[in-house]
Structures are given as C-alpha cells and as structure tokens.
Structure 1
Amino acid sequence: MGSRFTGRVALITGAGTGIGAATARLVVAEGGKVVLTGRRPAPLAEVAGPLGDAALALPADAADGAAMAAVVAEATERLGRIDVVVANAGGHGLGTAAETTDEGWQLALDANLTSAFVTIRAALPGLVDGGGSVVLVSSLAGLFAGPAVAGYTATKHALIGLSRSIARDYGKHGVRSNVVCPGWVRTAMADEQMDRFGESRGLSRDDAYALLTENTPLGRPADAEEVASVIAFLASSDASIVSGAIVTADAGASAVDLPTIELA
C-alpha cells in the first residue's frame, strides 16, 4: 500500500461496519491513524482490534453535538491532531412524505444530516489549523429520489449543500470538502434491504442485488472497499485541488437515461 496518510489522523463516523470500517482499514494501511466512532462499542472494537495502536475507538452518537465535541477533544489530546473527517454515519428516512411522522423525520435529520454537521463543526478548528479535508458520504439518493424514502432523500440531498458551504467558507483556510454518492454497496444495511426485497420476489440476496443493478453500466453493486478507495482519494493530497465536488461511486447508474432503458 501507499503512504498517503502517514502522519495524519482521520475521524470516521459510522466506523463499525461497511464503508466506515473499510475506510478505516485503508487509511491505516496507508500509514495513518484513525478515530472510530459510532453508537455501538462492540463493532468499533472489532474493527479497531486488528489495527492496533493506529486505531482509537470512541463510542458516541454522531448526532449529539456535545458527544462529538468530546470525541474530538479526546482524540486531539491523545493523538495530537485531526486532519480528516469522514462523515459516514447515516440511515433512517423510510416512507413517503405523507407516511413520515414527526419522529421519523427527526430521526432522518439526526442520522444523516445533523450527525455530519455537528461532527464537522467540532473538528473544524483543528482542520483549519492543519489545512484538513472533509468527505461526506451521501448517496445516489442525494441526487435522485427513490420510492418511499422522503426523509432519506431530503437529508442526503442536504449533505451536498453542507459540503459546498464548508468548501466555500473554509477553502481560504486550506480546508477541502467533498461528497461521495454511492449506489448500491454490499454492506450489512444493504444486505438487510436485499433480504426483504428478495423475500417479496422469491429471490436470494445475490439475485436481489443482481436485479437491482442490472441496468447500471457495470451491472453490479460496489464492495465497501471500492467506495473506501474513492473516499481515501478525496481525503488525501492526491485530490489537493478538488473541493466542493460530488463524486458518484455508482457503477455508472447516474449516467443512464431512464427512458431509453428498453431500447438497449
């Protein structure tokens, strides 16, 4: 592996599974240290264990401003700095607008938008001092609308606005901010969705993934490691001139003109 993160520290939310865990492993493999946060201690410990002294697990609710301020303070005290924030925590927001309760709407806001905002806000003083980088993990739902996911769609769209605001306001301090929009990715959360969808159609998990990605140009879902590679690029000096960008990691799905699918 390379050494793009030697001497650098990345704070990753939602780090216990999926894209967050894969990103942590990649950063460490390339010489960096990671601060892993999420609400469940056990998955964080499972990810941190093999990474040894290069990983610091600090369980917290990423949507709790005070908790994330404490995480940033402890991480800075113990590791000396935070150079990168990967705002990866997310979830919730199922249902149409009419079906979404006030509680459901707030859950979507907290999980997808507030979690990113309060984490980045807490880390910004250190990022400004060191000319750091922010990567927010949105979704194709940040660009388009799927069926019956009003809260998820609205909050994933909002992450793009947050990233652009950070890029605009803090670029003069050397801080970069970018967004990754994955399509279907093989993660524990997506596996659960595939299992539910597959059960309704009499399909296995693999067949469900295949059906839902058959009209993408690459015709398959991503692995978490593939999305982690995109995040690592944006977070590293390889992307030193990239800020305010939206990078899709969607097997080409966003390049498809839906009304022409039947012509293929």
Structure 2
Amino acid sequence: MTSLYSPEQGCVVITGAGTGIGEACARLFAAQGARVALIGRRRAPLERVAAQTGGIVLEGDAASAADWERFNAALAVEGGVASLIACAGGLGAGSALETGDDDWAGAMRANLDTAFVSARACLPQLIARRGSIVMVASIASLAAGPGVCGYTTAKHALIGLMRSLARDYGPQGVRVNAVCPGWVRTPMADEEMLPLIERYGETLEQAYARVCAEVPMRRAAGAEEIARVCGFLASDAASIVTGAVIVADGGASVVDVPTLAFERV
C-alpha cells in the first residue's frame, strides 16, 4: 500500500484501539505509513496490536483528563497528534426504567465523554497541524433500537459534539467528521448475538444473517471496511469534508420500515 503518512506529521491517535474497529484502524493507518498511538484500558490487546503495527501503547481511560495529561506527554515525544480517531464506546443497554444512575453515567462516559475529553486534549496539537478528528458513531446516532436508551442517547449526542467541534475549529483548519456504522463483525457485536443464538438455537453466522435480513446488502460490515471510511475522512482526499455524517450500514437506514410488509406480496 502506498505510504500516505510520515512520522514527521505526528501520530494518528486511536481510542478503543485494542479490538474491533479501533484495531482495524490501527492496522490501516500503520500500513499507510502512519505512526499510530493506541489508547485503551486493557494492556494485553493494545500490546498485541502494537506488536503488529509498530504502534505505541497508551494504557488508560480516554474519558480521563488526568490520563490525557500522561498521554500527551508521551505523544509529544512521538511528534504530537496529527489525527484523532475516536473509536472507544460500548455500554448503554436497557430501557429508561431499566437504566439506573450508574448505568446512565457509564453509557455517557463510554460513548460521549471518551470522545469529548479526547478531542479537547488533542485540539491544541490538531490546530497547530491543521489536523482532523473522526468520531466512530453508529446508526444508533440516527434512530433508536429497542432497549438501548443510554447507548442511543449518547450516540445521538456524539453527532452534536462532532458538529460543534467542526463549526468552532474549522476556521483554524481542523476537520471533524463522524462515521455511522450499522452491524459490524467485532467481538462486541459477537456478544450481542448471544441472545439470538440462545433463543433460536442458531450459529453466530445465522444470528448475523437474522439481524441483516432486511438490510439491503444482507450482511454486516467487516471492521476493516469501516476503517477504510475513517482513513478516507482523515486523509487529504477529504480535505473539504467537515461536519459530515457518513453512514456505512449496508443500506440499513434507508429501509422504509412500514413498507416491509409489501416486500413479499
């Protein structure tokens, strides 16, 4: 693959880098010549990805301002921050009546605070380099699924955060965009298939087929496919793109649900 980055540009910083979309982003950016900085709360997955990408491991909480002071000290040695890919997320299952205060706070911290605190910590360096931020949101940023009140609310708010940052820091050359995937084949999504596997006695493949039955492309994305969208948004090929919501869901969000009954008439 052609090298698109040089170490002199600084690091591509990826939160939630140990698994899933974050891991796929690390591999893609490293293959394009970037120095990648891997942020996550679990050291073992980060070290595994670092061994394969040459990245630097920054173990800690992306939602912690104190941890970001430590991260930024390490990043300064590596040439600073060229781009931020905010992939950290998760938590937030349950309807409103099933969501306690701690559950709500956990959903906000995992899905919204990680992006906000990371962006705030990186912005001075991104302004200096006219860099970019890509936030990995979700089609839950655009519509509500059943029993995921905290997750849906946090992901909706993530789009507001992206737009606010794009408006405020565009004059200083910083681009900020969001990617909204649908189902993606990741370890976290595999776990979400378990109720279907148990309820219907299905395999993992059959469970994915069930949740994608009404998706126009009839399949979940691979993590590397979402990483390629992130790579485009962070690259000079998207130099005029900011404040955008790029939906990468196999067409799931274009389905007119009330017309599904007519499909088999």
TM-score (norm. length: structure 2): 0.96
- Letter in structure 1 aligned against 2:58: L
Task: Tell me the C-alpha RMSD between the 2 structures.
Answer: 0.9
Q: Give secondary structure in 2 for the equivalent of 1:167.
A: helix
User: Structure 2 CA distance, aligned partners of 1:38 and 1:30?
Assistant: 22
Match of 1:35 in 2: 37
- Letter in structure 2 aligned against 1:35: A
Q: Is the 8 A contact 1:4 1:237 kept in 2?
A: no
Alignment of 1:214-253 (within 5 A): 214-253=213-252
Deviation at 1:198, TM superposition (A): 1.4
Match of 2:73 in 1: 73
User: Structure 1 CA distance, aligned partners of 2:114 and 2:254?
Assistant: 30
Match of 1:179 in 2: 178
Deviation at 1:62, TM superposition (A): 1.1
Match of 1:56 in 2: 56
Deviation at 1:80, TM superposition (A): 1.1
Match of 2:147 in 1: 148
Could you tell me which runs of 5 or more consecutive residues in structure 1 were left unpaired when the two chains were aligned.
none
Q: Which of 21, 31, 41 pairs up with 1:19?
A: 21
Match of 1:85 in 2: 84
Deviation at 1:73, TM superposition (A): 2.5
Q: Give secondary structure in 2 for the equivalent of 1:58.
A: strand
Deviation at 1:50, TM superposition (A): 1.6
User: Structure 2 CA distance, aligned partners of 1:2 and 1:113?
Assistant: 34
Which consecutive aligned stretches of 4+ in structure 1 deviate over 4 angstroms post-superposition? none
- Letter in structure 1 aligned against 2:98: E
Alignment of 1:90-101 (within 5 A): 90-101=89-100
Deviation at 1:138, TM superposition (A): 0.6
TM-score (norm. length: structure 1): 0.97
Cα deviations across residues 146-202 of structure 1 (Å, max 9, x unaligned)? 000000000000000000000000000100000000000000000011123211221
User: Structure 1 CA distance, aligned partners of 2:181 and 2:151?
Assistant: 14
The number of equivalent residue pairs is 261
Could you tell me which runs of 5 or more consecutive residues in structure 2 were left unpaired when the two chains were aligned.
none
User: Structure 2 CA distance, aligned partners of 1:136 and 1:73?
Assistant: 23
